[in-house]
Amino acid sequence: MIQFNIHRFGKLARWSLTTDKAFYLRSFLQVFAMMTLVFLFFTTRFINVGNADGDDKTHLMCAVMLIVMLFFTIVFGPSMMFTSMKGKHNDQTLLSLPASNFEKYLMRYSTWILMFPLYLVAFFFADAIQYLVNMLIGTDHVMFVTTRIIQLLNENAHTDSEMVNSMVVTCIWTHSWYALGSTFFRSHKFAWALSTVILIVLTMIQFWLIPTGDWGIADKQTPMSTIVLTDAIYGVLTLFNFWLSYKLFCRTQVIGKFVNI
């Protein structure tokens, strides 16, 4: 039976934030430093990727890199559930906390949700720095990467809705897969890598068993019933992955096993 108390969860959240503040700060600084260096590398003309009309391509590359990074943060996010926990001592402390298993699971799952706004803040700081640096050194084409991202999103605003919907459903399923892998494997450092390897193997098997032409890829020729059925299957598998991930978390014990079964 799932038990949830908002006041107890609030205390758990405060404990978790206090315990993991060094992890969050380190992650923020790493992303901030990486983005700043990348933005300056491209926009200050260290490499020549501009076009005749200006340096729009440099900002486009920065925009695409940011979107890809945020996309991977969402998809791979659950694999960071236990990254901040080091050693059996932290595992034992988590198990002994006066909170229900569901509250503990929800708090650990929320790690990536807390990381997402930190990454956005790091991006805005890095974007402001590259803008100021380019303005001070007299770069011809001074522009915020944020502006280029907005332009890029507007340019792709009319993408086929069925295809976007199918992509979102697939990403959510992949997200749930990494949530399952994070609680299945006991190695907090390599859970994401092991989950990725298994996912690649399963994908190769699927390609081998099902011809590419028979895949329910959403396009204008795909019947709506096929799209709905495919999305429904992925939705059920997503719920199953989260359910199994939670059940495995409830079985967690601090013992020397490779997997949590």
Flag whether pLDDT at 17 surpasses 80.
yes
d(C-alpha 115, C-alpha 141), whole Å: 32
Scanning the chain, the segments in alpha helix (DSSP H) are: 6-19, 21-43, 56-76, 87-96, 101-109, 111-136, 145-155, 161-184, 191-209, 224-250
Clarify whether residues 222 and 173 are in a common domain. yes
What pLDDT is recorded for position 236?
A: 93
How far is the C-alpha of 82 from the C-alpha of 19, rounded, in Å? 12
**Same domain membership, residue 178 and residue 153:** no
pLDDT for the residue 50: 47
Residue 75 · residue 178 · CB < 8 Å: yes
Q: Are residues 164 and 260 in the same domain?
A: yes
Domain that holds residue 202: 159-261
Winning range, highest mean pLDDT, from 98-112, 121-135, 161-175: 121-135
Domain boundary pick from 128, 158, 188: 158
Amino acid at 31: V
Q: What is the mean pLDDT of residues 190-194?
A: 84
Q: Identify the domain boundary among 158, 185, 208.
A: 158
Regarding whether 85 and 28 lie in a shared domain, the answer is yes
Single out the residue of 242, 218, 13 nearest to residue 111, CA to CA: 13
Structure tokens at 5: 């108390």
Q: Are residues 36 and 111 in the same domain?
A: yes
Q: Indicate the SS3 state at residue 212.
A: helix
Same domain, 199 and 251: yes
Q: How many domains does the chain have?
A: 2
Q: Which two tokens mark 241?
A: 């992955």
- Residues 90 and 133 occupy one common structural domain: yes
Q: How far apart are CA 122 and CA 116, in angstroms?
A: 10
pTM listed for this prediction: 0.82
Kindly tell me if the per-residue pLDDT of 158 is higher than 80: no
Q: Indicate if 23 and 81 belong to the same structural domain.
A: yes
* Whether residue 188 sits in one domain with residue 138: no
Instruction: Give me the pLDDT at residue 241, please.
Output: 95
Residue finishing a domain among 137, 158, 179? 158
- 198 and 115 belong to one structural domain: no
Which residues on neighbouring strands pair with residue 259, listed in sequence order?
185
